[in-house]
Chain A
Amino acid sequence: MEKIEVKGISIELNEEGFLTDSAQWNNDVALELAKVEDIELTEKHFDVLNFLRDKHSAGETLTIRKVGKSGIVDIKGLYDLFPGGPLKKSSRIAGIPKPTSCV
């Protein structure tokens, strides 16, 4: 179990770096998590993160295809935003659990 400090609040991560409590997420937490991945978050990144959080809280299984059809970004664009792990890295930064889908 790992912990990060964001603005004085201690945030707990599981062994793969995902938030254990999705409710602890906020923009500052996202910025901190993105640093670990060497990603500088832009507005576009946050659009994706918020989309993922919305879908996750609605109980939907997330796939890269769903994000590609969201109208926010196409799949190529998603790879550009989160290189080397479009769905996994974006989910981690969005403070939601690791995706369980194979697509």
Chain B
Amino acid sequence: MAKEEKPLKKVCIICAKGSIEDVYATLVMANGAVMEGIEAKVFFTFFGLDAITKKQFKKLKTATVGNPAMRMPGGLPFPSLLGVLPGVEAGVSAMMKSQMEKLDIPPVDEFLDMIVAGGGEIYACRLAADMFKLEMKDFTEHVKGILTIGEFYELAGGDNTQIIFT
């Protein structure tokens, strides 16, 4: 790969959804950034807050209903009606997690540890926190603060910065 003349310096990643794949997309990108020496600021909002909420981060799920890309192991179609059965969503989610563990992708809290260890910063959205009645004490220790979107944009200044919405 040829060297980029103006390499990326900072990514600001916004995660507004709380399913396993949305949260992990955010975590992989944030961790991948710090591992490349790129500054990373992550802003969790709306349902994305589950990823940094003490009571919720271990319970993330993949949607088995309304997910057209969902397939059975082996590739057969996954009937939506099956997805509504009790335990199916939990089973599918457990499988997603075990597949990721095999690739050495850590659980959410450990992933956040890794990002913070690399200098990445984790923030919660003020509006969504107010809406869901969440405060700093409800969030994992990785969370540096609760910010308004304006404050988040202040962190997003500077050359070669990208904002990514997952």
Contact = CB atoms under 8 A, between A and B. Distances in A.
Interface residues of A, number: 21
Given A61-B104, A103-B104, A103-B105, A68 B37 contact: no
A85 B32 CA distance: 10
Given A101-B104, A103-B31, A103-B105, A65 B114 contact: yes
Contact of A86 (B35, B105, B113): B35
A102 B113 contact: no
Interface string A53-83: 0000000010111101000001110010001
Nearest to B28: A102
Interface of B: 1-2, 28, 31-32, 34-37, 103-106, 110, 113-114, 117-119
Interface of A: 15-16, 61, 63-66, 68, 74-76, 79, 83-88, 101-103
7 contacts: A65-B114, A68-B114, A76-B117, A83-B37, A84-B36, A103-B106, A103-B114
